[in-house]
Amino acid sequence: MNNKKGKISYAKYGYIFSIPFIVAYLIFSLYPTLYTAIIGFTDLRGVNKTSWNFLPDFFANYKEVLNMPLFKLSLKNTVKLWVCNFIPQLSIALLLSAWFTNRRTKIPGEGVFKVLFYMPNIITSATVAILFAALFGYPMGPVNDILKRFLGEDFPGIWFMNSKPAAQGIIIFIQTWMWYGYTMIIIISGVLGISPDIFEAADIDGANGWQVFWKITIPNIKTILLFTLINSLIGGLNMFDIPYLLVSQSGPDNATLTTNVLIYMQAFMGGYIYNRASAMSMIMFLIIVVCSAVLFYIMRDKDEVALKKMLKAERKAQKLAAKGVN
């Protein structure tokens, strides 16, 4: 009895230490999300306006947004910019991960390479935007200066930010350059979590590096790849800083206009149309939730699901058998 009374429970300290996080989440995340969802059904718009009323047509703002050509264009641009940067980003990260985790090769200065590849992710978006705006400046900029050296002084230069393919290509390159190192680190951590016994067995069986990578490494890091894909999906569909800071006025024909840039313009520039911006935000939220759910379903562990179904069927059969005996 004395031992039970003198025993200290540390569980309560976990709850105490989590209180600041819970409070911060409720104030800075949950409340703004709920408030945004409500505003999407109201008539709130205009500078310094705080009072609002629910619209007679509850989904009027959503219908208006879905019929906006500019919203459709921004969504198309957002998906295009994300897909075109995620594919090379993941490909480069997988190749580097396979290189760094290859048991048969020893890379001198491996840690230095990892730091260098991860470095772009540390630099702030504003700094990156200023850097690339200077590099591709018109008429004077390092890239145009190099082109003039090769093509002659009469070369007029290229206004990259005024070209639709060039502006989109630069943003895609920046996003890939900034995030491939982060993706590489995540994948490497997943590969290092695989049991070495599996790789040793593959070596004994005579599997080459390519076979080990596709037959052992990839299937065993499926959860890590799912995390990477979902994380990139959320970040990609919320793309704002680089397109907004790098290209003024969203480029030619709104080539670099993303949904988040459009939401910002609707809410805080011009007419301060908060209700329409809120509706856009909630539509993007629903798109992300649905896409994430689909990815979770597609990339689920089918063997584990089949095993659970088999065990459930066995338990059901045992119960029926027990009832039959009784």
Report pLDDT for 8. Answer: 64
Domain shared by 33 and 126, yes or no: no
Domain shared by 127 and 213, yes or no: yes
Contacts of 149 (CB under 8 A, 6+ apart): none
**How far apart are the C-alpha atoms of 246 and 240, rounded to whole Å?**
10
Query: Is residue 323 a part of any domain in this protein?
Result: no
**How far apart are the C-alpha atoms of 227 and 183, rounded to whole Å?**
10
Query: Is residue 324 a part of any domain in this protein?
Result: no
Phi, psi (5° rounding) for residue 34?
-65, -40
Query: Is residue 320 a part of any domain in this protein?
Result: no
Domain shared by 282 and 227, yes or no: yes
Domain shared by 22 and 73, yes or no: no
Report pLDDT for 1. Answer: 45
Domain shared by 25 and 138, yes or no: no
**How far apart are the C-alpha atoms of 211 and 290, rounded to whole Å?**
34
Q: Amino acid letter at 177? A: W
Q: By residue range, what is the domain housing residue 16?
A: 11-41
**How far apart are the C-alpha atoms of 63 and 271, rounded to whole Å?**
19
Query: Is residue 321 a part of any domain in this protein?
Result: no
| pTM listed for this prediction | 0.86
Report pLDDT for 130. Answer: 92
Domain shared by 33 and 81, yes or no: no
Query: Is residue 51 a part of any domain in this protein?
Result: no
Domain shared by 191 and 299, yes or no: yes
Which H, E and C letters describe the chain, residue by residue?
CHHHHHCCCCHHHHHHHHHHHHHHHHHHHHHHHHHHHHHCCECCCCCCCCCCCECCCCCHHHHHHHCCHHHHHHHHHHHHHHHHHHHHHHHHHHHHHHHHCCCCCCCCCHHHHHHHHHHHHHCCHHHHHHHHHHHCCCCCCHHHHHHHHHHCCCCCCCCHHHCHHHHHHHHHHHHHHHHHHHHHHHHHHHHHCCCHHHHHHHHHCCCCHHHHHHHHHHHHCHHHHHHHHHHHHHHHHCCCHHHHHHCHHHCHHHCCCCHHHHHHHHHHCCCCCHHHHHHHHHHHHHHHHHHHHHHHHHCCCHHHHHHHHHHHHHHHHHHHHHHHHC
Domain shared by 21 and 133, yes or no: no
Report pLDDT for 326. Answer: 53
Query: Is residue 92 a part of any domain in this protein?
Result: yes
CATH number at residue 267: 1.10.3720.10
Domain shared by 174 and 260, yes or no: yes
Tens digits of pLDDT across the chain (326 residues): 445 555 666 777 888 888 999 999 999 999 999 999 999 999 998 877 778 899 988 899 999 999 999 999 999 999 999 999 999 999 999 999 988 887 777 778 888 888 999 999 999 999 999 999 999 988 788 998 888 888 887 888 888 888 899 999 999 999 999 999 999 999 999 998 888 888 888 888 888 878 888 888 888 898 899 999 999 999 999 999 999 999 888 888 899 999 999 999 999 887 789 999 999 999 999 999 999 999 988 887 777 777 778 888 888 888 777 776 55
Query: Is residue 60 a part of any domain in this protein?
Result: no
Domain shared by 190 and 303, yes or no: yes
Which H, E and C letters describe 117-160, residue by residue?
HHHHHHCCHHHHHHHHHHHCCCCCCHHHHHHHHHHCCCCCCCCH
Report pLDDT for 150. Answer: 86
Looking at the structure of the chain, the number of domains it has is 2
Domain shared by 81 and 37, yes or no: no
Reported residue count of the chain is 326
